[in-house]
Structure 1
């Protein structure tokens, strides 16, 4: 059964390359049972013709792979959030389960820590932050785990008459 499954996989056309793995490696489609019955005589053609066809096929495969990767990137970019930070910005950092040492993870432990300052920018997608001393994890985080810190608002809260208590002086 394994050889049949391998043959089926190698002769199946890939949606990214628009060619089968067998045809990419051997430059022709695999022989089926009907093809083995009437094998054509092997005629030696010019090596230059073979090389031009092979290089053209490889260029087609490369073009199809590039187009497929562009489609995948466009689909991934629809869900990606673009967030740029500067060195010195205060941020909140999310600690994923993988960042905790084995046995230290708890459902009730803090997930976000901060505010912590950014101390280095690796690229637009990765930043190094200054973690507290008790955190034994790498200080480098992906932008998906970083949020800008917004300090609490210090404005005065006023209560309108509809929200006031009837037990206050002067109320009915």
Structure 2
């Protein structure tokens, strides 16, 4: 049973030349826009990659992780608490952008971190830095 009279109407098989021209024009316009978007995105990517530093870690490397407020238990975060924790070893690599870090059990958070939150750990230098304090003698006032 047809819903409307148009469902049983016989439409002619003739195609409109104006409609075909409009469809072709629209198709070429879309392909030009798509090409222009790809060119612009490539240009933006090249500009952004100039400042990008690639961080590659291997399993066993010692890293320091940055824990955001969302990863800490409620009430334990303040602006003055320490943000970076570590050093912890990397247990496995998911891809170049994500790693699994071997955190202790007291950290009740996911062990997966983005490279933006991972910093390589460098051992502290063994040489002691001696800072000599310069004392100003009260007898040397400049009024001699």
For normalisation by structure 2, the TM-score amounts to 0.68
Out of 88, 101, 112, the position equivalent to 2:73 is: 101
Out of 58, 61, 64, the position equivalent to 2:33 is: 61
Structure of higher RCO (CA pairs closer than 8 Å, 6+ residues apart): 2
**What CA distance in whole angstroms lies between the structure 1 residues aligned with 2:42 and 2:71?**
32
**What CA distance in whole angstroms lies between the structure 2 residues aligned with 1:93 and 1:71?**
33
Question: Which residue in 1 is equivalent to 2:95?
Answer: 123
Where does structure 1 differ by over 6 angstroms across 4 or more consecutive aligned residues?
none
Q: What pairs up with 1:8-19 in 2 under 5 angstroms? A: none
* Deviation per residue, 1:19-52 (Å, 9 max, x gap): xxxxxxxxxxxxxxxxxxxxxxxxx535443332
Out of 140, 154, 163, the position equivalent to 2:112 is: 140
Q: What pairs up with 1:77-92 in 2 under 5 angstroms? A: 77-92=49-64
Query: What 5-or-longer segments of structure 2 have no aligned partner?
Result: 1-15, 133-144
Question: Which residue in 2 is equivalent to 1:151?
Answer: 123
Question: How many residues of Structure 1 are paired with residues of Structure 2 in the alignment?
Answer: 117
**What CA distance in whole angstroms lies between the structure 2 residues aligned with 1:77 and 1:123?**
19
Query: What 5-or-longer segments of structure 1 have no aligned partner?
Result: 1-43, 164-172
Larger radius of gyration: 2
**What CA distance in whole angstroms lies between the structure 1 residues aligned with 2:71 and 2:79?**
14
For normalisation by structure 1, the TM-score amounts to 0.58
